[in-house]
Homo-oligomer: A and B are copies of this chain.
Amino acid sequence: MSMRSVRKGNHNLDSDVTPALGKTIQRLRKAYKLSLGELSEQSGVAKSIISQIERNETNPTIGTVERLSRALDTTIGEVLKSDAGENFFEHQGRSGIPKLESEDGLCTLAIIGALDLVEYVQWYDFHARPGGILESEPHQAGCVEHLFIIEGELEITVGGEVRRVTAGQSIRYAGDRPHSIRNAGQQDAHATMVLVMRAP
């Protein structure tokens, strides 16, 4: 059995214990483009508490983190895994990956990874049924999107300009203007998207 740390008394650890939790919650919330108020509504947790959790100013209960995780389409295990981290591997099952859907229900965007560097990088797995459109509000200024088409055919529109890309090709465009991705072909389209923005 490995060494056990014998600690006494001070149960007031707060951010020490789970330094990444706040960041994780905030990252997920922003990935869904939710405000504190919206996440509060959907999770049932007071927005003041969410604010404190994101800043690691409180030591939330399991129940609270559970409700937040559920509202963010993931599980408490996944949320806390990054904290404990430290394994060579970090493995996410299908269910653990947060998924976004377009308004028409024909596109899905699954967040498959993110990195907190000086810049913030996030990448997605993108699916679109024929005719599906994913409309995006402008992201942060200076942000760039990269798209690699795995199968099918997509039509990208950025600020009035239109480009068509097919399987095997890739395209890079400004993410800080309104843009949309449309499946212009007859079959399903599938792509990898990488989004780069400056750290907030």
**Chain A residues proximal to chain B, CB less than 8 Å:** 1-2, 4-11, 13-14, 17-18, 21, 32, 41-45, 59-67, 69-71, 73, 75-78, 80-84, 86-97, 99-101, 103, 112-113, 115, 117-119, 121, 123, 125, 144, 146, 148, 150, 156, 158-159, 161, 163, 165, 168-174, 177, 190, 192, 194, 196, 198
Contact = CB atoms under 8 A, between A and B. Distances in A.
B112 A71 contact: no
Most B Cβ at <10 Å: residue of A45, A84, A121, A123:
A84
- Mostly helix, strand, loop or mixed at chain A's interface? mixed
A126 to B, nearest CB: 11
A8 B150 contact: no
28 contacts: A1-B103, A2-B99, A6-B44, A7-B43, A8-B44, A13-B66, A17-B62, A17-B67, A59-B62, A61-B62, A75-B81, A77-B81, A80-B80, A86-B96, A88-B161, A88-B174, A89-B158, A89-B173, A90-B173, A91-B163, A91-B170, A92-B171, A93-B169, A117-B121, A121-B121, A123-B192, A125-B150, A148-B192
A42 B173 contact: no
Contacts of A174: 88
A194 B126 CA distance: 16
Given A81-B81, A93-B169, 4 more contacts: A75-B80, A76-B80, A80-B80, A123-B194
A90 B171 contact: yes
